[in-house]
């Protein structure tokens, strides 16, 4: 019995394996056609088939699928001998390869259920018989061509095999010597090889070291072709190539090909299983994320239509006429609302992928950075099954790499320092992800030295980011390290010290409508916590009004709302605060931040406060009224408004009204928030 995360992983395996098998089927068909028409298969196609089988074997071994791994491994060995010329391609071999492909497809389809019904032993026995059979011996040895012994010894086993094959196929063999300038030899050599390959096969490319040659870099290409020496010379006129014939006349005498073995029965006739083989294995299709964005945009527009219909039905009922019609219309609107909600959730589910997809890359990066820094680090990963929007996950990679780099370079101590502090020589770096409400929390934690307040203070003074007479608290240090250009590294290394890091992390996270927070304990370690909405495609928003204008605040950043009066607002150090259950909550007025003008005096002293969070801290946003919740599609805005702190984008409401979406993280950045 497999758990949910394992079942999801096996479904992903089936999708990728099916793609490999489809490519394998097409390439085997091409190879068989080439063999039937010309008696041989192009080496590039044989190499492609070999790589496809190798990829399938590697994929199956990652998921511990032993039967698929065993069969594909044996087939890989067989294909290697075929492409090396140790086993001659034949109809019997193509029959074996196709039979094996059908069984592999069955094994792949059985993987998610754990069934093991398809037999592989008969195929393994057939493959072993082919692999252990007598290899084909080429009738012509490479010693019969005009190549010096040093050149022959420099050929790989595969190049030597291709040389023999060209001799056996009665091709002309030429040496094409060319020279290039050092500045562009790689592109010109590649272009020449591609040009020659259209008329034959470039068997090998060998460097030429001769002091008598003109300045530059020179190569000797071994070229097999049906063309004459004059025709080959015309192909390399532009690069001043020198063409020499490597084949003596005696070597051009055709050899009689070995007769087909009596055992060759050809490819089996189609049978009943072939119709089953035509079906796909998985029910999964790959969809461009931009297409999903388009569909989500359409759903957002349908939401606007739904809101307009609901308003129309309400107005009809309020007018006192057509009561039955308005009631039926409201009923259909509620039904439409339900279906749109289901459609939105389905599209969001399609966009979600497990964050484990980037964990492997982060693990490699962390280990590489640790080696560069000369530190011993144990990397631990938790919550790989947590799902996040695909586009957001890709955008999250760079900030996480910055945080990992910061932990390794600044947080974790060298082994000798850790030992002196009573710690193990090996530092701990943990990367975890989990869901909390409608948000995804990602944390990077180390057990290093923690924030060094005095070192940060000195670095801030040096860069003019702090006042010399100011005593910095731990919380103020946390704010400073996110400022642009700040770095406490004493020297510039490959890992850090360039002043680009945590400020870029903060900017990237805010661009994703998220927030970042950290806490640290001296000698114990530091934790960076990133909070992101699950998806940016469509979000639930709280609609508020201030100075006769509407704004949308993402629900994911709202902790609570409450109504109070101006009389309850207090002032501490010239700043407005509110006593919320014994906690002094800093307040921010939306009208002051966006410089809004009131058309008339507010009636009464009633106000509403939206308690919004910024990481693990919170503050209150003062507005005139709460207009309800609404699902919104956030659209980007122009550069002028996009640069305004506190504005995340825009969204549409009913009656063609466009309102701004509040970015609470940047809006609250200048407020002394409290921990929640």
Read off the pLDDT of each residue in 84-113 and give the average, rounded to a whole number.
86
Range with lowest mean pLDDT among 15-19, 76-80, 551-555? 15-19
CB 517 within 8 A of CB 529: yes
623 pLDDT band (50/70/90 cuts)?
Answer: very high
261 pLDDT band (50/70/90 cuts)?
Answer: very low
639 pLDDT band (50/70/90 cuts)?
Answer: low
Written as six digits, the tokens of 270 are 């189609």
Mean pLDDT of the chain: 80
Per mean pLDDT, which of 233-242, 247-256, 281-290 is the most reliable?
A: 233-242
Burial of 460 (0-12, 13-18, 19+ CB in 10 A): buried
Q: What is the pLDDT of residue 254?
A: 41
Model confidence at 430: pLDDT above 90: yes
The torsion of the CA quartet 159, 165, 171, 173, rounded to 10 degrees, works out to 30
Read off the pLDDT of each residue in 326-333 and give the average, rounded to a whole number.
84
Neighbours of 662 (CB within 10 A): 27
3-state secondary structure of 153: helix
Range with lowest mean pLDDT among 123-132, 328-337, 486-495, 535-544? 486-495
Q: What is the pLDDT of residue 448?
A: 92
Model confidence at 610: pLDDT above 90: yes
Per mean pLDDT, which of 43-52, 314-323, 487-496, 631-640 is the most reliable?
A: 43-52
145, 206, 253 from 248: Cα distances, Å: 7, 21, 10
Range with lowest mean pLDDT among 198-202, 265-269, 338-342? 265-269
Q: What is the pLDDT of residue 503?
A: 81
Q: What is the pLDDT of residue 576?
A: 92
Model confidence at 298: pLDDT above 70: yes
253 pLDDT band (50/70/90 cuts)?
Answer: very low
472 pLDDT band (50/70/90 cuts)?
Answer: low
**Three-state secondary structure readout of 116-128:** CCCCCHHHHHHHH
Q: What is the pLDDT of residue 90?
A: 86
Name the one residue in this structure whose structure tokens are 């439409």.
336
Written as six digits, the tokens of 489 are 């590294």
CA atoms within 13 A on the CB side of 290: 0
Q: What is the pLDDT of residue 11?
A: 77
Model confidence at 442: pLDDT above 50: yes
Model confidence at 286: pLDDT above 70: no
| Beta-carbon contacts of residue 259 (< 8 Å; ≥ 6 apart) | none
476 DSSP β-pair partners: none
415 pLDDT band (50/70/90 cuts)?
Answer: very high
pLDDT, one tens digit per residue, over 516-526 is: 888 888 889 99
3-state secondary structure of 673: coil
Model confidence at 544: pLDDT above 90: yes
pTM metric for this prediction: 0.53
- Strand 575-580 relative to strand 583-589: parallel, antiparallel, unpaired? antiparallel
Rounded percentage of the chain residues whose pLDDT exceeds 70: 82
Chain-centre distance of CA 285, in angstroms? 18
CB 379 within 8 A of CB 429: yes
- Strand 575-580 relative to strand 625-632: parallel, antiparallel, unpaired? unpaired
Model confidence at 260: pLDDT above 90: no
CA atoms within 13 A on the CB side of 621: 36
What b/e sequence results for 518-553 when a residue is b if at least 16 CB atoms lie within 10 Å of its CB, and e otherwise? Answer: bbbeeeebbbbbbbbbbbbbbbebbbbbbbeebbbb
Q: What is the pLDDT of residue 640?
A: 62
Range with lowest mean pLDDT among 78-82, 149-153, 609-613, 648-652? 149-153
Task: Report how far residue 190's alpha carbon sits from residue 538's, in angstroms, rounded to the nearest whole number.
Answer: 48
Residue with the bigger pLDDT between 184 and 116: it is: 184
């Amino acid at each position: 019995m497999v758990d949910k995360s394992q079942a999801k992983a096996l479904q992903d395996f089936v999708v990728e394996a099916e793609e490999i098998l489809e490519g394998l089927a097409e390439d085997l068909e091409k190879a068989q056609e080439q063999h039937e028409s010309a008696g041989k298969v192009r080496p590039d196609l044989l190499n492609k088939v070999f790589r496809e089988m190798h990829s399938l074997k590697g994929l199956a071994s990652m998921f511990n699928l032993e039967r698929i791994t065993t069969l594909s491994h044996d087939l890989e060995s067989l294909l290697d001998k075929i492409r090396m010329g140790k086993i001659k391609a034949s109809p019997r071999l193509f029959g074996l390869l196709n039979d094996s492909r059908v069984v592999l497809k069955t094994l792949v389809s059985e993987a998610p259920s754990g069934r093991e019904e398809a037999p592989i032993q008969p195929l393994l026995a057939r493959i072993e018989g082919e692999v252990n059979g007598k290899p084909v011996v080429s009738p012509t040895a490479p010693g019969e061509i005009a190549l010096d012994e040093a050149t022959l010894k420099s050929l790989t086993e595969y190049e030597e095999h291709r040389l023999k094959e060209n001799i056996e196929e009665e091709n002309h063999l030429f040496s094409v010597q060319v020279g290039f300038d050092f500045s562009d030899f790689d592109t010109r050599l590649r272009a020449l090889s591609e040009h020659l390959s259209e008329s034959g096969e470039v068997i090998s490319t060998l460097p030429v070291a001769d002091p008598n040659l003109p300045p530059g870099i020179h190569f000797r290409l071994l070229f097999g072709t049906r063309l004459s020496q004059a025709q080959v010379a015309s192909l390399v006129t532009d690069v001043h190539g020198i063409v020499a014939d490597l084949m003596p006349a005696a070597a051009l005498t055709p050899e009689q090909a070995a007769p087909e073995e009596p055992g060759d029965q050809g490819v089996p006739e189609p049978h009943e299983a072939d119709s089953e083989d035509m079906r796909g294995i998985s029910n999964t299709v790959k969809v461009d994320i931009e297409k999903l964005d388009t569909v989500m945009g359409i759903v957002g527009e349908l939401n606007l239509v739904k809101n307009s219909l609901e308003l129309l039905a309400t107005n009809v009922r309020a007018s006192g006429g057509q009561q039955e019609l308005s009631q039926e219309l409201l009923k259909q609107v509620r039904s439409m609302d339900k279906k749109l909600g289901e459609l939105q959730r389905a599209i969001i589910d399609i966009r979600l992928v497990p964050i484990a997809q980037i964990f492997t890359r982060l693990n490699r990066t962390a280990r590489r950075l640790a080696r560069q820094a000369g530190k011993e680090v144990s990397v631990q990963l938790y919550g790989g099954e947590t799902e996040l929007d695909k586009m957001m996950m890709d955008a999250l990679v760079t900030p996480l790499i910055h945080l990992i780099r910061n932990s390794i370079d600044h947080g974790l101590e060298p082994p000798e320092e850790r030992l002196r502090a009573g710690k193990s020589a090996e530092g701990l770096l943990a990367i975890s992800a989990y869901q909390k409400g409608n948000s995804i929390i990602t944390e990077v934690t180390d057990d290093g030295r923690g924030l060094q307040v005095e070192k940060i203070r000195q670095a801030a003074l040096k860069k003019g980011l702090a006042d010399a007479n100011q005593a910095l608290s731990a919380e103020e240090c946390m704010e400073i390290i996110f400022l642009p250009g700040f770095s406490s590294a004493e020297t510039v290394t490959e890992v850090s010290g360039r002043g680009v890091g945590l400020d870029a992390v903060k900017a990237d996270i805010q661009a994703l409508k998220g927030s970042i927070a950290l806490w640290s304990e001296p000698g114990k370690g530091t934790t960076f916590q990133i909070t992101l909405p699950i998806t940016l495609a469509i979000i639930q928003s709280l609609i508020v009004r201030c100075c006769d204008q509407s704004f949308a605040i993402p629900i994911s950043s709202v902790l609570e709302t409450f109504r109070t009066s101006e009389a309850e607002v207090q002032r501490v150090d010239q700043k407005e605060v509110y006593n919320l259950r014994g906690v002094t909550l800093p307040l921010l007025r939306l009208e002051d931040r966006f410089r809004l003008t009131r058309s008339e005096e507010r009636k009464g002293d009633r106000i509403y406060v939206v308690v919004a969070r910024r990481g693990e801290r919170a503050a209150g946003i003062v507005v005139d009224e709460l207009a309800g919740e609404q699902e919104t599609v956030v659209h980007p805005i122009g550069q002028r408004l996009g640069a305004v702190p506190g504005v995340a984008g825009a969204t549409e409401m009913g009656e063609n009204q466009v309102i701004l979406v509040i970015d609470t993280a940047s809006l609250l950045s200048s407020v002394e928030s409290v921990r929640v």
